[in-house]
């Protein structure tokens, strides 16, 4: 293994272990010492890669986004209709993303960091906020294409639906993080999937629930 490979490996290790620690303990409660202990590295080794914990934050967020896409976009393009791709994302969120305790042992890291970091640390919180906007835009993209292709009703506001989907999965993360109830998570995501079905063209009226 040459020097460059070793350097890149140790950088990767810092990012991966920090992602886990941020998910478990948050940003402020994760010390450089915690990271050194988890990676078995020296202080000098760490600062060789990152000038500060703030600089590390950006790299960790970028890795977290990679995992987000890996889990939530899995097999999405195999679906033939735009609206079914969106339903697949919701199913992936329930079955893959929120269950990914390897990358996120303490639950969704975006949620943990969002609740912890507010406008007191604008240079960090704005990175999270931008990511939220991009995620909502991603969801809206599927909806806009679904409307263009006549899969959902022309009178549907794709802006409203993307707001509801995005808040919906964020809220589901909060509840699942708290109670780890698969049943509750299932009801939550199923309600969003049925909502999408209700805006499809030629949607059957949903059956009235028994309650």
* Dihedral over Cα of 206, 71, 37, 123: its sign: negative
Does position 146 interact with a copy of itself (CB under 8 A)? The reply is: no
- Is residue 6 part of the contact set for a copy of itself (CB under 8 A)? no
Q: How far apart are the C-alpha atoms of 9 and 39, rounded to whole Å?
A: 11
Specify the 3-state DSSP secondary structure of 85: helix
- Taking CB under 8 A as the rule, does residue 54 contact a copy of itself? no
DSSP H/E element including 3? helix 3-25
* Shortest Å, Cβ 191 to a copy of itself: 4
Is 39 a binding residue for a copy of itself by CB under 8 A? The answer is no
Min dist. Cβ of residue 56 to a copy of itself (A): 20
Structure tokens given for 99: 């269950």
Site size for a copy of itself (CB under 8 A)? 55
For the segment 16-35, give every residue that binds a copy of itself (CB under 8 A). Answer: 29
Contact pattern for a copy of itself over residues 113 through 132, marking x by CB under 8 A: -xxxxxx-----xx-xx--x
Q: How far is the CB of 180 from a copy of itself (least distance, A)?
A: 5
Contact of 177 with 169, CB cutoff 8 Å: no
Using the structure block, give the residue that is written with the tokens 């899969």.
151
Instruction: Tell me the per-residue interface mask from 163 to 182 with a copy of itself, x by CB under 8 A, - otherwise.
Output: xx-xxxxxxx-xx-xxxx--
* Backbone torsion region of residue 50, taken as left when φ is above 0, otherwise alpha when ψ lies between -120 and 50, otherwise beta: beta
Q: Is 120 exposed, middle or buried (0-12, 13-18, 19+ CB in 10 A)?
A: exposed
User: Interface residues with a copy of itself (CB under 8 A)?
Assistant: 29, 106-107, 111-112, 114-119, 125-126, 128-129, 132, 140, 144, 153-161, 163-164, 166-172, 174-175, 177-180, 187-188, 190-192, 194-195, 205-209, 211
């Amino acid at each position: 293994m040459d020097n460059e490979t070793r350097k890149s490996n140790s950088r990767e290790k810092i990012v991966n272990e920090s992602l886990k620690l941020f998910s478990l303990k948050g940003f402020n409660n994760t010390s450089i010492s915690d990271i050194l202990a988890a990676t078995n590295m020296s202080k000098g080794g760490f600062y060789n890669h990152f000038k500060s914990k703030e600089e590390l934050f950006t790299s960790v967020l970028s890795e977290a986004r990679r995992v987000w896409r890996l889990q939530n976009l899995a097999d999405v393009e195999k679906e033939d209709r735009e609206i079914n791709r969106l339903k697949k994302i919701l199913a992936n969120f329930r079955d893959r993303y929120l269950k990914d305790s390897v990358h996120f042992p303490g639950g969704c890291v975006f949620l943990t960091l969002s609740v912890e970091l507010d406008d007191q640390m604008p240079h960090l919180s704005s990175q999270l906020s931008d990511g939220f906007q991009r995620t909502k835009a991603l969801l809206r993209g599927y909806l806009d294409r679904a409307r263009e292709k006549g899969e959902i009703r022309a009178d549907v506001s794709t802006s409203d639906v993307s707001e509801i989907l995005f808040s919906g999965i964020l809220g589901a993360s909060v509840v699942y993080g708290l109670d780890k109830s698969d049943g509750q998570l299932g009801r939550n995501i199923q309600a969003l999937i049925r909502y999408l079905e209700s805006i499809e063209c030629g949607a059957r009226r949903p059956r009235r629930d028994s309650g």
